[in-house]
């Protein structure tokens, strides 16, 4: 059985090796990004070590920040963002405190999100606000899966992150056909290399199973393409500009979100 304690040495070792490699590269962008990871990884690992309360707290914080970034991409107003953030947080807290009521919490959240443009009588932009709100709820409420999955979700995040990094560098080096018009820089060669690296990480962490494998190999790239589609619609490069070397939080968890959804469906 996977535990946070069993994952911690691997996370610490990977962070240390990454620091050595980044220092050797002397590239400012990579150094800044590693510093962000050096702060974030211990905090998240500690929260997961605390158990379901810590995991739920992380999921709520991440969910609210992701809603704010998503709302910016979709040009949602303050009321829409506030209601969507409350709905996502409500689903996460329900997954912790009353797991059997998650579907009911999702339904209540969807009705509440839909009520905002209806109550304001927005005939011009109401349909766009409704569609964006429901998409955000469906996409970001998947964070609630972090609570029951626990250490498995942490292992999935590590594998997806390694797959993303490998896909980026391998795709640039190997070239070949593009993965999708939604993201012209991504190549099939990089995606396949990333999937292989992600599966290797799962094996090392003793977390390899066929649902986890499909989540990493298929869900990860699909999540990246989903956010690329949203950002292209919004005509922006990054979901935010506050995370050092990484843009926004959504830019870091886009692959994880769909990977979690795939894992939930297959588990």
Residue 231 burial (10 A CB sphere; 0-12, 13-18, 19+):
buried
pLDDT tens, position by position, 17-30: 877 877 887 777 77
Domain ranges, residue 78: 53-148
User: Is 183 within the bounds of a domain?
Assistant: no
Q: What's the mean pLDDT when you consider all of the chain?
A: 91
Structural domain contains residue 224:
no
Q: What is the number of structural domains in the chain?
A: 1
Q: Let me know if residue 101 belongs to a domain.
A: yes
Q: Are 224 and 171 in contact (CB under 8 A)?
A: no
In a domain, residue 104? The reply is yes
For residue 142, tell me if it sits in a domain.
yes
Q: How far apart are CA 217 and CA 195, in angstroms?
A: 5
Pick the more confident residue, 26 or 206: 206
Tokens standing for 141?
Answer: 């409420």
What tokens were used for 102?
């998650």
pLDDT, tens only, 218-246: 999 999 999 999 998 888 888 878 776 66
Q: Is the pLDDT of residue 83 over 90?
A: yes
In this predicted structure, what is the pLDDT of residue 137? 97
Taking residue 39's Cβ as centre, other Cβ atoms within 10 Å add up to 11
| 235: its two tokens | 């005509």
Range with the lowest mean pLDDT among 188-192, 212-216, 244-248? 244-248
Q: Is residue 39 part of a domain?
A: no
Q: What is the pLDDT of residue 240?
A: 79
**Residue range 87-118, pLDDT digits in tens:** 999 999 999 999 999 999 999 999 999 999 99
Residue 263 has pLDDT above 80, yes or no: yes
């Amino acid at each position: 059985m996977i535990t946070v304690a069993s994952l911690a040495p691997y996370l610490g070792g990977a962070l240390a090796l990454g620091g050595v490699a980044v220092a050797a590269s002397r590239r400012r962008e990579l150094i800044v990004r590693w510093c962000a990871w050096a702060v974030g990884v211990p905090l998240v690992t500690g929260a997961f070590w605390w158990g379901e309360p810590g995991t739920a707290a992380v999921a709520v914080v991440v969910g609210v920040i992701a809603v704010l970034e998503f709302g910016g991409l979709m040009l949602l107003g303050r009321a829409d963002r506030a209601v969507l953030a409350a709905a996502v947080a409500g689903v996460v807290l329900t997954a912790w405190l009353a797991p059997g009521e998650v579907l009911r919490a999702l339904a209540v959240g969807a009705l509440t999100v839909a009520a905002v443009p209806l109550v304001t009588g927005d005939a011009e932009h109401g349909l766009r606000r409704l569609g964006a709100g429901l998409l955000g709820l469906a996409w970001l409420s998947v964070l609630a899966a972090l609570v029951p999955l626990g250490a498995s979700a942490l292992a999935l995040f590590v594998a997806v992150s390694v797959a993303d990094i490998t896909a980026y560098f391998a795709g640039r080096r190997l070239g070949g056909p593009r993965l999708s018009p939604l993201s012209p820089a991504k190549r099939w060669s990089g995606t396949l290399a990333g999937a292989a690296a992600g599966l290797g990480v799962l094996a090392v962490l003793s977390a390899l199973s066929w649902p986890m494998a499909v989540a990493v190999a298929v869900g990860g790239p699909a999540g990246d393409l989903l956010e690329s589609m949203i950002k292209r619609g919004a005509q922006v490069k990054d979901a935010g500009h506050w995370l050092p070397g990484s843009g926004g939080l959504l830019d870091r968890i886009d692959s994880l979100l769909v990977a979690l959804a795939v894992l939930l469906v297959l588990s």
